[in-house]
Structure 1
């Protein structure tokens, strides 16, 4: 008896070529800026504006990675500030989102639907639209030029998406497990802490990683508006200030950019298995 062909074998050769060609074009557009930026960091400054332009550096070196520590004062502090702001914002989001997502997933209370819709509507507004009201609010609380002025707005814009993600995951956890705990005399808080949280750990990991990436990426606009002190500047603002000089040393700027994002890439690289396992685990609950 003939075995049925797998789905991938049902494609014709030209369809397979088209699929891989599309993937190659997509990856080219995604990765080309990173490759070009890294090659610029290896080039001597004299080659950056040569004609004709050379894609591959001649006599390339990592000299810019050494000199940029002197050219960008306080560079290590900028990296620390970025990680501190992103880490605290992620912690705040998790502390608020985990119980909120459980409540939206399990309890049918008045106004749940409109409230979820309001959370979704928040994501339709750009942070730039609310900068002036947020600035007045931060000034009235006296928290301008502090870490708090960048952590609170960043966390607030990340909470709605995190609630929707984690709520969807928690809805896939079988209710029978909680009902069995209730029959044994467990209360809501005990059941949430000892039954739901361990099962929701992969989903919480996904939310934590995506929130950290979002907090790391959105620091520029809030830091530029709510902070003017160098000791609180995150990395994007520190590099943006580097443009203020009469001459932009592009190879050092690219080197500083890659050194700045390297810690985040390392964290994502080591945690990506938790991200993949969390997404796939939520799909089969």
Structure 2
């Protein structure tokens, strides 16, 4: 039998979780309440946490303030999806190779991956711009997809390699005894077991790609139809004032695709972990 917690221990645990959730959710709650407030009342004194005369008008007027906002949201979702697909396709075999094979220079390459992550994207903007220009990728989706994938691949390899190293090598050896090739072993034996780790990599990559588009878009793109959501949100910053309520409304609408993707993938992540725990 599992020991029961005393009433005050249970109360302290729930209080601790409530304080933690408050600090995590408070910015989102405040941002949502700001989106409901009229712009003229945002900086009124005394400050009111709950919106007075609140409405969802900002969620309708923001489409008029930034007419191409829907295109910006689609661009961000499309760029992040393509980056995630490229990263997963490259990272899965690379992580398997680093987890299973001992070859000359493997440790040096892994260290190089960490070194790449230490560089800020702003430091490499000029050489990346010259590279994009030489490849003819400026003012295209690929100008944001290629550097986005390049910056996310190293950390993804480290993450998935660690997960694959926990898969017993005896499974590979059993498949080889039955005549399976390396590729067949990876596809039919390792991938099903590594699926929870692959889902984690996909989630992290999608979030990272969604968040890093601003600097690449401003540097490698000058066409409005290719601009992602962060650049579209910047349009709410006017010369005289910032339309804060519409900016918050657009931000919440913009993160909806990310939240839907994360919730959808988390279902399969939990299902994969549970299946791996009960199989004999």
TM over 0.5: yes
Q: Does 1:89 align with 2:53?
A: no
CA distance in 1, matches of 2:272, 2:115: 26
Q: Does 1:36 align with 2:37?
A: no
Q: Does 1:25 align with 2:19?
A: yes
Q: CA RMSD in A?
A: 2.4
Q: Secondary structure at the match of 2:119?
A: coil
Which one of the candidate residues 145, 155, 164 is aligned to 1:151? 145
CA distance in 1, matches of 2:132, 2:81: 21
Moved more, 146-155 or 27-36: 27-36
Would you say the 8 A contact 1:172–1:282 is kept in 2?
A: no
Q: Secondary structure at the match of 2:102?
A: coil
Which one of the candidate residues 60, 63, 80 is aligned to 1:66? 60
Cα drift, residue 16 of structure 1:
6.8
Q: Deviations over 1:150-174 (max 9, x none)?
A: 0011111110111111111111112
Would you say the 8 A contact 2:37–2:51 is kept in 1?
A: yes
1:112-261 counterparts in 2 under 5 A? 112-261=106-255
Cα drift, residue 28 of structure 1:
2.3
Long gaps (5+) in structure 1: none
Cα drift, residue 280 of structure 1:
7.6
CA distance in 1, matches of 2:229, 2:256: 12
Would you say the 8 A contact 1:69–1:75 is kept in 2?
A: yes
CA distance in 1, matches of 2:156, 2:271: 17
Long gaps (5+) in structure 2: none
Cα drift, residue 12 of structure 1:
10
Q: Deviations over 1:167-208 (max 9, x none)?
A: 111111122222111111121112222221222222111111
Q: TM (normalized to structure 1)?
A: 0.89
Would you say the 8 A contact 1:147–1:232 is kept in 2?
A: yes
Q: Deviations over 1:37-86 (max 9, x none)?
A: 10011111221121111110112111111111111110110011000100
Instruction: Quickly say closer, same or farther: Cα 1:132–1:90, change in 2 above 3 A.
Output: same
CA distance in 1, matches of 2:17, 2:8: 16
- The runs of at least 4 aligned residues of structure 1 exceeding 4 Å deviation read 11-16, 19-22, 276-285
CA distance in 1, matches of 2:70, 2:178: 54
